[in-house]
Chains A and B, each alone.
Chain A
């Protein structure tokens, strides 16, 4: 059972880590858009 749970947990850790990476990308881009708007 340990191996089974390890595999399932590892799967979701990988997916959640990637979703976190995407969220950080969106946040960085939003900051850049706000900065561009401020400059105008």
Chain B
């Protein structure tokens, strides 16, 4: 992976640039909303990427509960942290899009509220991991992640089963989308997924390295204590 990392990073940078070009220039202008609709090409792929990362976190948490592997635990932490970053992007770009279209920054609509709850659940997960000093922290975090992940399908399907102010899904929701818009949307999703994989890998490596350093430091202090007696 170390050798492939720079190549993958260059490829991702190319995809992100192409995605940006597609979103700002290539995609046709939407008739009713105008240019502000182009926020869609960042808002929706960010949400899908966050959902994928929370799914990785769920799988890693379940595997950790079964096998107690520290590497899987590090992956769960990395995916949750990067997922929160993408979810933050969704919660920031959403209101910026809502203001010119709905006339308000925020409304306590079901989809919006559930997304905020999702963000709060994973921020709580990260807080637990950051500030709890208990040896059982990874187990508690894995249980919280398994329960918190239940909110992901609620967020996704809230606009299918309830009447909300949020627009209906563009894919599989009975609506139609211009093929050029769909192409740009999927390109941006691919670019964001590659970017998320890169960042997640970097965070995973950092976590593994941090644990190794902490173990070495603990061992060194034990040895120092033993030799002074």
**Partner-B contacts on A (CB < 8 A):** 1, 3-4, 6-8, 10-11, 14-15, 18-19, 22, 25-26, 29, 32-33, 36, 39
Q: Which residue of A lies closest to B195 (CB)?
A: A15
The reply to whether A10 and B96 form a contact with Cβ atoms under 8 Å apart is: yes
Q: Tell me which of A1, A11, A25 contacts B46 (CB under 8 A).
A: A11
Q: Can you show 15 pairs from A to B with CB atoms below 8 A apart?
A: A3-B100, A4-B35, A6-B96, A7-B42, A7-B43, A7-B97, A8-B24, A8-B42, A10-B93, A11-B92, A14-B89, A15-B89, A19-B199, A25-B210, A32-B217
A36 in contact with B217 (CB, 8 Å): yes
What's the nearest-Cβ distance from chain B to residue A33, in Å?
A: 6
Residue of A7, A10, A15 contacting most chain B CB atoms (<10 Å): A7
Chief secondary structure at chain B's binding surface: helix
Q: Are A14 and B85 closer than 8 Å at their CB atoms?
A: yes
Tell me, yes or no, whether B158 is within 8 Å of chain A by CB. Answer: no
B96, A3: Cβ atoms closer than 8 Å: yes
Which chain B residues lie closer than 8 Å to A29 at the CB level?
206, 209-210, 213
A22 vs B43: C-alpha distance in the bound complex, in angstroms? 23
Say yes or no: A7 contacts B217, CB within 8 Å. no
Binding site for A on B (CB under 8 A): 20, 24, 35-36, 38-39, 42-43, 46, 82, 85, 88-89, 92-93, 96-97, 99-100, 195, 199, 202-203, 206, 209-210, 213, 216-217, 220
Judge whether A32 and B213 touch: CB under 8 Å. Answer: yes
**Partner of A22 from B24, B100, B206, B217 at Cβ < 8 Å:** B206
Given the complex of chains A and B, what is the CA–CA distance between A15 and B194 in angstroms? 14
Chain A residues whose CB sits within 8 angstroms of the CB of B206 once the complex forms = 22, 25-26, 29
Q: Which residues of A contact B99 (CB under 8 A)?
A: 3
Chain B residues near A18 (CB, 8 Å)? 82, 85, 199
- Known contacts being A11-B92, A15-B85, A29-B213, is A4 close to B199, with CB within 8 Å? no
Contact status of A11 and B89, CB under 8 A, knowing A3-B99, A22-B206, A36-B217: yes
Query: With contacts A4-B39, A14-B92, A15-B85 known, what are 16 further pairs, Cβ within 8 A?
Result: A1-B35, A3-B39, A3-B96, A3-B99, A7-B43, A8-B20, A11-B46, A11-B93, A15-B195, A22-B199, A22-B203, A22-B206, A25-B206, A32-B217, A33-B213, A36-B217
